[in-house]
């Protein structure tokens, strides 16, 4: 479609991309100590367009991959037919309904998380024109069906989950979709086979999940509300066949105001896909399906110190909110304010006289901070940016966060982490084609996991880079912590990137990098520290 003439013949056109990543060095595996680390990944993407057909392909090779399981071959292949308002796809398919409370089967390649299904999907939309109805109604339907073998990346001991799913979604819009009402239904069958006490345990689950959502856009205001109910029935064969059922639910809402000088967004979540209780023997089997991925409802920060250890959302049991303001009322000054908080519904407080865990369930609408067993999380952030020159700026930020390093099915007594972080970032255009960028971050941290210095530690980060456009950017990064991992206080790194035409970038870095918790789409994985040489070549063809 967006084609090179070299690739076009008659009406065939193509577009593609290529990513080559190589690393050689060592990694800190925590308890496992320092180990040699080498990876090589090659990922080639192609889209071939012919008449109304599109062929999508992604080829992967690794030796081995940086994270997760190795894969060699065609990871993605699909064929798509589009004509007017009809859209049909067969092969690897993905969809998003509303805000993803029921269907948002996304992929995060950085984490090696993949919830695409192998199957078919199709959609059709009919729009009435203004002559027929003043309020311009539209009606759209979408359906998807297929199978997925889901590999859980959060633990090597978690067995693969076989999923067979079919979904249908309908959306009715008026005023050009400025008011939209949607409804979806998901039916899925899952199978998991695990070894327990030397015996294979087969667990089958049927999920029937209806949902509704409403969104609107009126002048400065936009809003969205979505609710789903996850009805489940489970059959498990141990020494005998057992059955259980569970109804989970999830709710999400957002309201936003946008004008030229003020933007204000409020989001609310109340996720109860599976309220964990240690008294329920089937508690771990009723979790949210990997096909769903609702909003996490906290800020995606761009500062390294704040992204190194982000909040890990427990979609099965978490409620909370986020408020963000963007203020541009004062010339040349941009102010961003953000606050987010959450806690769980269930907490456990010891055992009763029969030895059963005592479960306290809160029905509050807002997060509760008084009970550590509810894993309360809160953070607030303020950033002020002053712009001078076309792209020269200086900005400072202040951030505080309190969180618990909790396991998904955790119990009270998990370690608490509190951070206070301040930082400065400055970009100065020395000439119209050259610029200097400096970032300085300082973090005070209280971490109950770290026993030295009464759990107190500080982290410093300095990044400096200079760019000669359009060719080369080079710089260095110095990370320092009073805590040490792998006998290290300093993590120095140098990097250089260069562009070959506009279509290719080559990035090379050498030195040490701190690991951290990397979260994408609510999926979190601890990325181990790395020390060595990295090489990345990105191409858009």
Partner 1 sequence: MGLVGSYFKLTTMKYLGIVVLVLASLFIGSNASAHSDSVKVAENMKFNVQDVNGEENTFSHYLGKGPLLVNLWALWCEPCKQEMKAFIALSDKLKDKGVSMISINTDQVKSLAKVRAYVKTQGVKYPVLVDPDGSIARDQFAMESLPFSLILRPDGTIYKKHIGFTAGDEVQIEKELDELSTQLGSK
503 makes contact with partner 1 (CB under 8 A): yes
Which residues in the 238-267 window bind partner 1 by CB under 8 A?
A: 254, 256-265, 267
CB of 170 to partner 1, least distance (A): 17
129 makes contact with partner 1 (CB under 8 A): no
φ/ψ of 294, rounded to 5, equals -75, 170
CB of 46 to partner 1, least distance (A): 7
Nearer to partner 1 by Cβ, of 205 and 395: the residue is: 395
CB of 375 to partner 1, least distance (A): 20
Which residues in the 63-122 window bind partner 1 by CB under 8 A?
A: 63, 72, 80, 82, 85, 94-96, 99-100, 104, 106
Which of 214, 462, 499, 516 forms a contact with partner 1 (CB under 8 A)? 499
Which of 324, 383, 441, 513 forms a contact with partner 1 (CB under 8 A)? 324
From 214-222, 235-243, 405-413, 486-494, span contacting partner 1 (CB under 8 A): 214-222
What does each C-alpha distance from 100 to 87, 306, 428 come to in angstroms? 20, 26, 40
Helix ranges (DSSP H) in 272-343:
304-307
Which residues in the 327-366 window bind partner 1 by CB under 8 A?
A: 327-328, 334
Nearest to 29 by CA among 158, 160, 156, 159: 156
Which of 29, 34, 42, 400 forms a contact with partner 1 (CB under 8 A)? 42
CA angle 400, 401, 403 (to 5 degrees): 165
528 makes contact with partner 1 (CB under 8 A): no
CB of 87 to partner 1, least distance (A): 8
Q: What gap in Å lies between CA 266 and CA 255, rounded to an integer?
A: 5
Which residues in the 150-169 window bind partner 1 by CB under 8 A?
A: none
Cis peptide before 64 (omega within 30 of 0): yes
CB of 103 to partner 1, least distance (A): 10
CB of 345 to partner 1, least distance (A): 22
Nearer to partner 1 by Cβ, of 327 and 366: the residue is: 327
Which of 449, 470, 484, 489 forms a contact with partner 1 (CB under 8 A)? 470
Straight-line distance from the first to the last Cα atom of the chain, in angstroms, rounded to the nearest whole number: 12
CB 52 within 8 A of CB 80: no
Site mask, partner 1, residues 264-303, x = CB under 8 A?
xx-x-------------------------xxxx---x-x-
2 makes contact with partner 1 (CB under 8 A): yes
Total chain residues near partner 1 (CB under 8 A)? 103
From 200-208, 372-380, 390-398, 480-488, span contacting partner 1 (CB under 8 A): 390-398
Dihedral (C-alpha) 108, 111, 117, 118: value to the nearest 10 degrees?
A: 110
The secondary structure element, H or E, covering residue 508 is strand 504-513
CB of 513 to partner 1, least distance (A): 18
DSSP assignment of 328-359:
--STTEEEEEEEEEEE-SEEEEEE-TTSPEEE
């Amino acid at each position: 479609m967006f084609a090179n003439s070299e690739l076009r013949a008659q009406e065939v056109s193509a577009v593609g991309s290529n990513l080559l990543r190589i690393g050689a060095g060592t990694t800190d595996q925590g308890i496992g100590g320092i180990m040699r680390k080498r990876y090589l990944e090659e990922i080639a993407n192609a889209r071939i367009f012919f008449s109304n057909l599109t062929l999508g392909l992604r080829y992967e090779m690794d030796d081995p991959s940086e994270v997760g399981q190795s894969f060699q071959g065609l990871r993605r292949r699909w064929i798509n037919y589009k004509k007017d308002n009809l859209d049909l796809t067969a092969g690897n398919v993905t969809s998003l309904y509303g805000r993803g409370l029921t269907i948002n089967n996304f992929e995060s390649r950085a984490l090696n998380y993949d919830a695409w299904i192998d199957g078919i999907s199709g959609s059709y939309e009919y729009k009435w024109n203004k002559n027929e109805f003043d309020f311009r109604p539209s009606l759209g339907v979408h359906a998807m069906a297929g199978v997925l073998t889901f590999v859980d990346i959060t633990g090597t001991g978690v067995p693969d989950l076989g999923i067979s799913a079919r979904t249908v979604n309908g959306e009715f819009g008026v005023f050009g979709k400025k008011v939209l009402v949607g409804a979806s239904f998901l039916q899925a069958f899952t199978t998991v086979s695990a070894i327990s006490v030397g015996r294979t345990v087969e667990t089958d689950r049927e999920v029937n999940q209806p949902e509704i959502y409403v969104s609107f856009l009126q002048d400065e205001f936009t809003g969205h509300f979505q609710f789903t109910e996850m009805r489940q029935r489970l059959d498990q064969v141990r020494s005998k066949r057992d059955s259980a059922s569970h109804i989970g639910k999830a709710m999400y809402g957002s309201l936003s105001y946008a004008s030229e000088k003020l933007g204000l967004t409020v989001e609310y979540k109340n996720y109860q896909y599976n309220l964990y209780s240690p008294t329920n023997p089937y508690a771990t089997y009723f979790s949210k399906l990997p096909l769903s991925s609702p909003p996490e409802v906290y800020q995606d920060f761009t500062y390294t110190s704040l992204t190194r250890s982000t909040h890990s959302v427990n979609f099965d049991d978490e409620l909370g909110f986020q408020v963000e303001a963007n203020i541009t009322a004062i010339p040349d000054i941009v102010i961003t304010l953000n606050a987010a908080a959450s806690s769980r519904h269930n907490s456990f407080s010891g055992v009763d006289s029969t030895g059963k865990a005592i479960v306290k369930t809160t029905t509050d609408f807002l997060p509760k901070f008084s009970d550590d067993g509810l894993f309360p999380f809160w953070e607030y952030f303020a950033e002020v940016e002053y712009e001078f020159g076309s792209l020269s700026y200086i900005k400072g930020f202040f951030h505080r966060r309190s969180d618990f390093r909790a396991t998904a099915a955790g119990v009270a007594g998990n370690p608490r982490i509190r951070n206070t972080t301040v930082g400065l970032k400055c970009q100065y255009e020395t000439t119209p084609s050259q610029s200097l960028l400096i970032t300085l971050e300082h973090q005070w941290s209280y971490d109950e996991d770290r026993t030295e210095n009464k759990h107190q530690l500080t982290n410093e980060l300095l990044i400096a880079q200079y760019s000669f456009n359009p060719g080369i950017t080079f710089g260095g990064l110095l990370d320092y912590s009073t805590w040490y991992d792998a006998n290290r206080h300093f993590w120095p790194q140098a990097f250089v990137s260069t562009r070959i035409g506009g279509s290719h970038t080559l990035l090379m870095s050498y030195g040490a990098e701190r690991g951290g918790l990397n979260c994408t789409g609510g999926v979190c994985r601890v990325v181990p520290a790395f020390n060595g040489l990295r090489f990345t070549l990105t191409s858009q063809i």
